[in-house]
Structure formats: C-alpha cells, structure tokens
C-alpha cells in the first residue's frame, strides 16, 4: 500500500495516535484535545492528495526549500496557523504539532508496511517535503498575522497619541501669541511647543517604521515640486527652533522635479535634526543641495566623533542595531533613542529610487548624502 492510500484509509487511527503523541510534547500538554485534531485532518488530506500527484524533481527541491506553488486561496496549513493564533498558541506549539504529525504517520506506516521498495522511500521523502511545505506555510502565516497585529496596535497608538499632542501644541501656540504674558511664561510655552513638535516627529517615524515593515515600504506620491523651497523651509524651521545653532545652506542647479514634497521635507528634517542632536555642539552645520543633469544630491555635514565602521553599517537599520547590542544594554532605560529617524530617511529615499550614503572621518566630519534621480512625474488625481 502506498503512503497516500495508507493515510486516507487509516485517518482515524493516525489522528488518535497524533493526539496521544502531541499531548506528550511539552508545549501541547495543556492544549485542548479536540482543538489539536481539527485542522490536522485537513492538512493530512492535502498531503495525501499531493503524494498521489506525480512530481518532477525540481518541484520536489523547491518544496523542500518551502518554495512550493502557492494557490490563490488560503492553504489548509495557512488556515491552521490562523486558527492557532486565535487559540493563543505560541510558534513553538505550532511547530511541535507538525513534528507530532510527521512522527505519528511515519511510525504507524512503518508498523504496518515493510519499507523496502524504492517507491516506499520516494513516498517517505515526498511526505517529509509536504510536511515541511505545510510547516513553512503555517509559520509564515503565523508571523505575518502577529506582525499585522503589532502594526495595527502601533497605528492605533500613534493615532491616539497624535490627537492630544496636536491640542498641546496648539495650546502652546496660543500662549506664545499672548503678548501680555511675562517672559518666563513665554519661555515655558516655547519649550512645550518645541517638545510637542519633537514628539509628533517621533510618533510619525514610529508609524512609518511599522507600516513600512508590512512589505511595500513607505508610500510616496511624486508630483512636481521645487526642492529649493522645501529645503529652505526645513532649514528655516530648524533655525527658528534652534536659534543657537549655525546652519549654513547652499543651493545650485535646477531643483524642480517629481518627488513627494511632504516626504522629502520629512527626510530633510530628520537629517538636520540629527546634525543638531548628534553633532558637536556649537559647530556649524552645512546643508547643500545640488541639481545635476540626472539627479539632485542633498547633503548634510556636521562635526562629530568619528563613527566606527561597524556602527556605520547598521546606522539605517534600527532592528539590527538593537539586535547586536549586548543583552545588558537592551533595557529600555539604557537606550536614549529608538533610532528610527535614519531608517525612515532611507525608506523615503529608496521609495524615490534614490540612494542614501554616509561617511565619517576626522577631517570631513559626518556626511549624510541622498541622491535622488529625476523620475517621470505623475499627475495627481486632484490636479
Ligand atoms: N549627523 C549625525 N552626526 C553624528 N552621528 C549621527 C548623525 N546622525 C545620526 N547619527 C548617529 O546615528 C544614530 C541613529 O540616528 P537616527 O536613526 O536618527 O536615530 P536617533 O536620532 O533617534 O538616535 C544616532 O543615535 C547617532 O548615534
Ligand atoms: Mg534622529
């Protein structure tokens, strides 16, 4: 009897064996027995049907790497994962279930059939591949659902925080316009205003970080803008908030083209706030924007301690930067900044098919540079 036929004729017995075995695995000990059984049956039927279909070698290799053909509808393994998330299973429990399934089927089969022929061995290899494929699908779906949930959570948090934040900043603005207030009150008002602006920028970066991780990066809407105007606006805003800092700006060439104006302002602003925040105090910050034939190059330069090559490599990737910290330094209280600013800048530049680079040396200081190719503008719906 081949393995496919064996699975279908012994389904009840396999499911019982599986249930017994699964409940001896640590992560599944306290799981509901009936729940353990539910989708296993569907997964097994899919595997049996798969074993009955002839398969070329390249398909077999693809499957063993978890790259099997994807149906449009959700597969049994994907539905299984969704159910497990809903039931509160951990990823270890989902993996343990597949281990249990694999071992129950193979053990029962070996007990009934003497595995001698090459066809039996081939069946066994294909069964293992099919289980791996199902496991890969389940784990991918499981991770995706958790990511989406976290993302939604962050989006709601961001939205909820931004509304009261807007009220704080508006209140501070009203105070700042009241000429009758003593200078001490005005100073406090200015501090409230600056801090709420900064918080809003952090929340915006956090939202961009979470949404860009869903796959498509940061959405941009390129239309014809003048980067000279945008750059000037950002520099002027920085000068207003930090009157004590010298910011030098040079502009040359044609700076009009198709980019997403709001996103460019966000990227420029992140780079300039970094220069203010991380550069040597009292040093001059140099901003330059040059229009070339095929691109615009935007550059922010400041004096600072030389950044080590290892740190330079992970500067645009906060998750990696966080992951390579020694465990003792991962506690929230020891991290001054989330470090999402540069990640967002890079995402914005990449979404415009541009490139971001950074260099750091004793003589030239730290230089961040964005090269933005001239891309074809598209008209906006409301044009
Ligand atoms: N202009 C700069 N000069 C020196 N160091 C910088 C500069 N910009 C960024 N950095 C370094 O890169 C890190 C990451 O920057 P960023 O992603 O904006 O996060 P954050 O500013 O929140 O720390 C900073 O913590 C800092 O160490
Ligand atoms: Mg920053």
The pLDDT tens digits of the residues spanning 247-266 come to 999 999 999 999 999 999 99
**Class of domain 223-373 as given by CATH:** alpha beta
**Residue 148 to residues 132, 154, 155, 205: CA-CA distances in angstroms?**
24, 10, 10, 17
Please name which ligand lies nearest the alpha carbon of 368: 1
Q: Whose CA is nearest to atom 15 of ligand 1?
A: 339
Nearest to 22 by CA among 64, 84, 75: 84
DSSP characters over 151-216? HHHHHHHHHHHHHHHHHHHHHHHHHHT-TTS-HHHHHHHHHHHHHHHHHHHHHHHHHHHHHHTTTT
Residue 276 tokens read as: 């203010």
| Number of the ligand 1 atom closest to the C-alpha atom of 316 | 17
What is the average pLDDT across 39-61? Answer: 78
Q: Whose CA is nearest to atom 20 of ligand 1?
A: 339
d(CA 31, CA 135): 19
Count of alpha carbons within 13 Å of 24, Cβ hemisphere only? 10
Nearest to 277 by CA among 260, 251, 302, 312: 302
The pLDDT tens digits of the residues spanning 330-379 come to 665 555 566 789 999 999 999 999 999 999 999 999 999 999 999 765 55
| Number of the ligand 1 atom closest to the C-alpha atom of 270 | 18
Give the pLDDT of residue 167: 93
Q: Which of 77-86, 121-130, 277-286 has the highest mean pLDDT?
A: 277-286
Instruction: Output the pTM of the full model.
Output: 0.69
CA of 278 to the centre of ligand 1 (A): 6
The pLDDT tens digits of the residues spanning 294-325 come to 999 999 999 999 999 988 988 998 877 777 76
339 lines ligand 1 (CB under 6 A): yes
Do residues 189 and 176 lie in contact, with contact meaning Cβ atoms separated by under 8 Å?
Answer: yes
């Amino acid at each position: 009897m081949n393995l496919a036929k064996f699975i279908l004729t012994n389904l009840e017995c396999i499911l019982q064996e599986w249930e017994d075995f699964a409940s001896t695995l640590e992560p599944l000990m306290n799981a509901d027995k009936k729940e353990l059984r539910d989708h296993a049956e569907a997964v097994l039927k899919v595997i049996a049907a798969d074993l009955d279909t002839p398969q070329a070698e390249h398909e077999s290799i693809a499957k063993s790497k978890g790259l099997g053909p994807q149906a449009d509808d959700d597969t049994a393994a994907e539905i299984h994962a969704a159910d497990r998330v809903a039931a509160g299973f951990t990823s270890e429990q989902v993996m343990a279930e597949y281990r249990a399934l694999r071992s129950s089927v193979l053990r029962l089969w070996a007990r009934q059939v003497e595995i001698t022929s090459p066809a039996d061995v081939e069946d066994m290899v294909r069964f293992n591949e099919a289980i791996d494929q199902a496991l890969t699908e389940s784990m991918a779906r499981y991770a995706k659902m958790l990511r989406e949930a976290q993302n939604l959570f962050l989006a709601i948090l961001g939205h909820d925080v931004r509304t009261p934040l807007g009220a704080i900043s508006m209140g501070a603005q009203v105070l700042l316009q009241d000429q009758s207030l003593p200078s001490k009150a005005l100073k406090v008002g200015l501090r409230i205003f600056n801090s709420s602006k900064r918080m809003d920028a952090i929340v915006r970066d956090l939202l961009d970080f979470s949404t860009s991780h869903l796959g498509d990066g940061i959405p941009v809407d390129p239309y014809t803008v003048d980067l000279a105007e945008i750059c000037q606006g950002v520099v002027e805003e920085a000068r207003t908030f930090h009157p004590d800092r010298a910011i030098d700006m040079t502009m040359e060439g044609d700076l009009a083209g198709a980019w997403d104006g709001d996103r460019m302002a966000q990227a420029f602003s992140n780079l300039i706030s970094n220069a203010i925040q991380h550069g040597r105090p009292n040093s001059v910050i140099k901003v330059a924007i040059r229009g070339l034939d095929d691109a615009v190059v935007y550059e922010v330069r400041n004096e600072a301690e030389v950044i080590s090559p290892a740190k330079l490599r992970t500067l645009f990737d906060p998750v990696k930067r966080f992951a390579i910290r020694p465990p003792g330094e991962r506690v929230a209280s020891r991290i001054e900044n989330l470090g999402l600013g540069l990640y967002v800048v890079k995402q914005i530049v990449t979404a415009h098919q541009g490139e971001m680079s950074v260099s750091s040396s004793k003589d030239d200081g730290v230089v961040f540079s964005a090269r933005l190719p001239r891309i074809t503008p598209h008209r906006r719906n409301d044009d």
